[in-house]
Structure 1
């Protein structure tokens, strides 16, 4: 059976991807962790600049959250809440 150069390239890429999937999972995890860390920093910065964040416990609650959906919801709310308790509602 004869392969075209494109078919050969795709086959090689597929094999390489299978072999390196384990490494790619780590890369993907690192990218997601970086995104989560950035969201945490952004939430804290916005709340501090607005004078809304005051209690250490709230700062810690935000810093310890690793759920991307929760952080995305909080970052949207951080610009409009009157107090930090509203962020967590």
Structure 2
């Protein structure tokens, strides 16, 4: 069985996209659970982000923030 695809750049890119999508969904879930309202444009900003470090930072901020501005401040 040829496993070269699983080691390819394209395969890695697909995995990265999946990770980013999962992080974005986690951010939205935390914000929803905390009762923080999200305008549609902010929701789109989070779900379209593909920077894993930024998403991780937003997720950690979402755990303690009381407003969406606190989550996204200092990008």
TM-score category (smaller protein) = 0.7 to 0.9
By percentage of residues, which structure has more helix?
A: 1
Which ranges of structure 1 fall in alignment gaps of 5 or more residues? 1-15
Greater alpha carbon shift after TM alignment, 54-63 vs 66-75 = 54-63
Which ranges of structure 2 fall in alignment gaps of 5 or more residues? none
SS at match of 1:26: helix
Give the TM-score normalised by structure 1.
Answer: 0.70
Decide whether the 8 Å contact of 1:46 with 1:78 is kept in 2.
Answer: yes
- Once the 2 structures are TM-superposed, how far is the Cα of residue 64 of structure 1 from its aligned partner? 1.7
Q: Which runs of 4 or more aligned residues in structure 1 lie more than 4 Å from their structure 2 counterparts after TM superposition?
A: none
Find the counterpart in structure 1 of residue 8 from structure 2.
Answer: 24
Rg comparison, structure with higher value: 1
SS at match of 2:38: coil
Residue of structure 2 aligned with 1:75, choices 35, 59, 70: 59
Backbone CA RMSD of aligned residues: 2.1
Distance in 2 separating the partners of 1:57 and 1:42: 17
Find the counterpart in structure 2 of residue 65 from structure 1.
Answer: 49
Structure with the bigger RCO (C-alpha within 8 Å, sep 6+) is: 2
